[in-house]
Amino acid sequence: MGPSALRYADLNERLESLGYEVEDLGDLDVIIPETRHFGDPRAKYLREIADACVHLANLVLGIRQHGHTPLVLGGDHSIAVGTVSGVAESFRRNGKTLGLLWFDAHADFNTPEISPSGNVHGMPMAAIMGYGPAELTKIFGFSPKIQPQHAVQIGIREVDPAERQLVKDSGIRVFTMKDIDRRGIGSVMDEALSIVSTSTDGFAVTLDADFLDPYESPGVATPVRGGADYREAHLAMEMIADTQKMVSFEITEINPILDVQNKTAHFGMELILSAFGKQIL
């Protein structure tokens, strides 16, 4: 329902007002969880999620091969495995290097062996970096999808105990909310954009709506207080647009059932516009 809520917020029309030609490919067919047993409790619905990610990865690859910019609407954050895999494969085929900006309250760096919940939406960053089930890590037959020196996480403020060590061992750069509080979002984004742009040919962006503070973004499944406020989030997206190096954008975890008058989806729509170049003047 998250993609529908974003469409209801006039996303397509607003993008067209910025001068873009928008082709809405509709929603992917995915299995409704309530109709299936979750399977392995350490990685619930892994087969179904992996199938959806492979489908999404091929779709994103095709969009990139036709010279267009994928805008992926979710959905829980497990879909990032598919989105990033598709973009990374398009870069690999052309001998290019991809960076990744990951906005989230959570590190999403669990694996089935250490996850306290078994929810795969807590594992996508680990899978992208080569940790976890082969069904997720080996899409298109290579791993990791992003080299650690080209990956940045921003806004992290809730990490599981066993997950913490894996994040540290991975070598990716993480800016927690403490860093944002201490340095300001502008300084953090300057460094983050330098990391994902240095020795790369562009970068992908994935944004979990719980990166935002729950006051601004109540319609998420796993809210964590103390997230980015309205202007911090917009400045981050505006700085991304200024680089003109973003090659894909993804927003996830918008849940209309938990939202208030479509507030989260409307905010998400505004952030997408900022990332795609909407300016104050």
pLDDT tens for residues 41-59?
A: 999 999 999 999 999 999 9
- Please name the residue ranges forming H helices in the chain: 2-8, 11-17, 46-65, 80-93, 124-128, 134-137, 161-170, 177-183, 185-197, 230-243, 263-275
Distances (CA, A) of 236 to 13, 189, 205, 239, 276: 23, 6, 11, 5, 12
CA distance 180 to 175: 7
Name residue 39's amino acid: G
Which amino acids are annotated catalytic?
77, 104, 106, 108, 121, 208, 210, 253
Taking 90 as the threshold, does the pLDDT of residue 12 lie above it? yes
Could you confirm whether domain 2-23+37-139+147-275 is CATH 3.40.800.10?
A: yes
- What one-character DSSP code corresponds to residue 261? T
CA distance 271 to 216: 12
Q: Which two tokens stand for residue 242?
A: 């200024």
Q: Say what the pLDDT of residue 232 is.
A: 98
Taking 90 as the threshold, does the pLDDT of residue 27 lie above it? yes
Taking 90 as the threshold, does the pLDDT of residue 154 lie above it? yes
Taking 90 as the threshold, does the pLDDT of residue 178 lie above it? yes
Dihedral angle sign, alpha carbons of residues 58, 60, 126, 197: positive
Q: 65 Cβ partners below 8 Å, 6+ apart? A: 90
When pLDDT is cut at 50, 70 and 90, the band that residue 34 belongs to is: confident
Report helix, strand or coil for 175: strand
When pLDDT is cut at 50, 70 and 90, the band that residue 155 belongs to is: very high
What are the pLDDT digits (tens) for 200-220?
A: 999 999 999 999 999 999 999
Query: How many Å separate Cα 230 from the centre of its chain?
Result: 18
Taking 90 as the threshold, does the pLDDT of residue 2 lie above it? yes
Q: Is the pTM of this model over 0.85?
A: yes
CA distance 269 to 8: 10
What are the pLDDT digits (tens) for 179-202?
A: 999 999 999 999 999 999 999 999
- What one-character DSSP code corresponds to residue 45? T
What are the pLDDT digits (tens) for 219-250?
A: 999 999 999 999 999 999 999 999 999 999 99
Q: Say what the pLDDT of residue 196 is.
A: 98
What are the pLDDT digits (tens) for 61-118?
A: 999 999 999 999 998 999 999 999 999 999 999 999 999 999 999 999 999 999 999 9
Name residue 270's amino acid: E
What are the pLDDT digits (tens) for 116-146?
A: 999 999 999 999 999 999 999 999 999 999 9
Q: Say what the pLDDT of residue 32 is.
A: 86
CA distance 88 to 248: 10
